[in-house]
Structure 1
Amino acid sequence: MAAPRSIASMTISFGLVSIPCRMFSATESKSAVSFNMLHKDCGARVRQQLYCPAHQAVIERSDTVKGYEFEKDKYVVFEPSELEAFEATASHSIDIVAFLPADAIDPIYFDKAYYLGPDKRGAKPYQLLAQAMTETGTCALAKFVMKGKQNVAQVRAGPDGLILQQLLYADEVRAQSAIGIDKPEVQLAELKLAEQLIEQYRVDSYDPTQFKDEEKERLLAAIDQKIAGKKITLQPAAQPEGAEIIDLVEALRASLKGQGTAAVKQKPEAAAPIAEPAAPKQRKSARRAATPEVPAAPAPARKTGTRK
């Protein structure tokens, strides 16, 4: 695997301390299997064009300028040189404004992540800052400018070095209270059983290598079959069956009884569905709940695009 390439030279600054460093992208998207758009009749790849409705004609990209819509169909226009002037104000500096507890920032504000590596003559202060934050259990809150945009970020010490985690601004995160979540009273017996079930599924750490994009693997296998000239047979998706609604406490007890402490290592049998107590006549069915092999976050939404 080729060594990652630096995308920017930066300087971590706080007080009178300056640490030269280099910035690297920490992530890359590999989940989506993309497709190209082809003309159905001849199989040629179609191309997007820029169309001007006023002239009813296709125009070249060189004939366009960028405009900001301040009212419906009204724009103020910026020349490329004017936009470049904003980007020229980037200081290439990561300015630390505060230190705070390492877990003080809600992960919902996390955006793109970058690795920071020491540049020339920066190894010693870089290591000192990383070790000091580890020993004190803190992270840094910082500001930096990239591509003409000012960003707020968290700088934290990872196992192998410093990580810059770009953060979303407050107005970029929706309030969860807006979706309206009912909060019925939870009985003590229900809570105790739920806590026991959590303990059975609890693991000490997250191992990302345990999870694979199974949908992507199936699609790539189908593509290989197409390339080899084979006929693809798709198995119809299984239809969910209805399940009887049972008492929440009984469902938790049944789950505890059937799983045991090895629940996270072996695939258990399907567990009884958990539902709120309700009159059987009012709620006829519920989705069958299958117990996962290990605790995991919900699978990301699949995307399809155009394969380059």
Structure 2
Amino acid sequence: MAARSIASMTLSFGLVSVPVKVYTATESKSGVGFNLMHKECGTRLRQQYVCPADGKVVERADMVKGYEFEKERYVIFEKSELEALEASASHTIDIVSFVPTEAIDPIYLDKPYYLAPDKRGGKPYRLLQEAMKDSGTCAVARWTWKGKQHMVQVRAGSDGLILQTLLYADEVRSQADIGIEETDIQPTELQLAEQLIEQYRVDSYDAAAYKDEEKERILAEIDKKIAGNKITAAPAVEQPGGQVIDLVEALRASLKKKPAAAEQPTTAPRAARKTARAAAPTPEPAEEAPAPKRRSVRRAATEEQPAPARKTGTKR
């Protein structure tokens, strides 16, 4: 089925206007849903809206929308008034600046959309895409949609332009409020951790290589139930979270374990590199591995002057 656009807009920067169509880029693949049933007869229950003042069921035709401006005080809006509010929405995506693509922290990225050129928009569309790709920049723009003004990022994707709404600053909580513990990192621990990262490292993220295994497990159990079998809980697996472990020994043991990612299908060039890497002997980590050389004098370690312990976290 051909994709259907949700809106026609004009992407504007300077005196240049690019007519575009907006398409949703994602669709929710929700988990397994269960319905509420009547225990006595097994009939699916129906949701109804009940007026607490008189206890009557209110039909959809008798519902209106209201805004609570004070506690238990509402102003009622007619359908025409709601349509008038929506009519003020702009049909323009106004670019306000261009920034390096990596300048936007991913934590601010929200819902993505695809942009496609509309009539007579093909050339300026491709021009903007290539210019941002070559310059390593993305656009920051304003987009008014469904009663809210969004700040959005417009960036060059592999096949076209991508628009992604951005969260406002007051919509993102500060990580400083979590209270992350301040601790010391020893050079040997850091070296082993970096070796482990390199062992699990792959060239790129392949979303198609992963699936919702928990959803598949639940659906398999439901099939058993449909077949007349009783579902029983699997034995609980003991979690190692509460155990006190030697961090260095845990890192060394992890280095000897084959990464699960290495068993997944990859592209041919990547597989060739993995084969070559697997053919080479993997050296065992030394008992007391020296700290790797760094550009920073503070991180360097010599026999006369031991490397100082590295601190992580921010003291608040």
Task: Work out the CA distance in 1 between the residues paired with 2:196 and 2:140.
Answer: 37
Q: Which residue of 2 aligns with 1:264?
A: 261
Q: Which residue of 1 aligns with 2:124?
A: 125
Shifted more, 213-222 versus 148-157: the winner is: 213-222
How far did 1:235 drift? 5.2
For the Cα contact (< 8 Å) 1:39–1:45, is it kept in 2? Answer: yes
Aligned residue type for 1:45: R
Task: Work out the CA distance in 1 between the residues paired with 2:224 and 2:238.
Answer: 29
Q: Which residue of 1 aligns with 2:98?
A: 99
Task: Work out the CA distance in 2 between the residues paired with 1:244 and 1:25.
Answer: 45
Deviations 1:164-216 (A, max 9, x none): 00111111111111121112122222222211211111111101111111121
How far did 1:45 drift? 2.0
Q: CA RMSD in A?
A: 2.1
Structural mapping, 1:1-308, within 5 Å: 2-227=1-226, 229-234=227-232, 236-240=234-238, 245-256=244-255, 258-259=256-257, 264-266=261-263
Give the 3-state SS of the residue equivalent to 2:31 in structure 1. Answer: coil
Aligned residue type for 1:166: T
Larger RCO (CA within 8 A; separation ≥ 6): 1
For the Cα contact (< 8 Å) 1:88–1:148, is it kept in 2? Answer: no
Using the size of structure 2 for normalisation, the TM-score is 0.77
Task: Work out the CA distance in 1 between the residues paired with 2:166 and 2:133.
Answer: 21
Task: Work out the CA distance in 1 between the residues paired with 2:62 and 2:239.
Answer: 58
Task: Work out the CA distance in 2 between the residues paired with 1:232 and 1:161.
Answer: 50
Identity of aligned residues (%): 63
Task: Work out the CA distance in 1 between the residues paired with 2:219 and 2:213.
Answer: 10
**Structure of greater Rg:** 2
Deviations 1:72-103 (A, max 9, x none): 32223332222221210122111111000011
Give the 3-state SS of the residue equivalent to 1:41 in structure 2. Answer: coil
Deviations 1:46-76 (A, max 9, x none): 1111111112222222322222223332223
How far did 1:129 drift? 0.5
Task: Work out the CA distance in 1 between the residues paired with 2:260 and 2:85.
Answer: 56
Shifted more, 185-194 versus 88-97: the winner is: 185-194
Aligned residue type for 1:147: K
Task: Work out the CA distance in 1 between the residues paired with 2:239 and 2:29.
Answer: 34
Deviations 1:2-57 (A, max 9, x none): 12111111111111111111111100011322222222222222111111111222
Give the 3-state SS of the residue equivalent to 1:11 in structure 2. Answer: strand
For the Cα contact (< 8 Å) 1:31–1:213, is it kept in 2? Answer: no
Task: Work out the CA distance in 2 between the residues paired with 1:224 and 1:51.
Answer: 37
Following superposition, which runs of at least 4 residues in structure 1 exceed 4 angstroms of deviation? 241-244
Task: Work out the CA distance in 1 between the residues paired with 2:188 and 2:93.
Answer: 51
Unaligned regions of 5+ residues in structure 2, if any?
265-316
Unaligned regions of 5+ residues in structure 1, if any?
268-308
Q: Closer, same or farther in 2 for the Cα pair 1:241/1:152, shift >3 Å?
A: closer
Give the 3-state SS of the residue equivalent to 1:182 in structure 2. Answer: coil
How far did 1:259 drift? 3.2
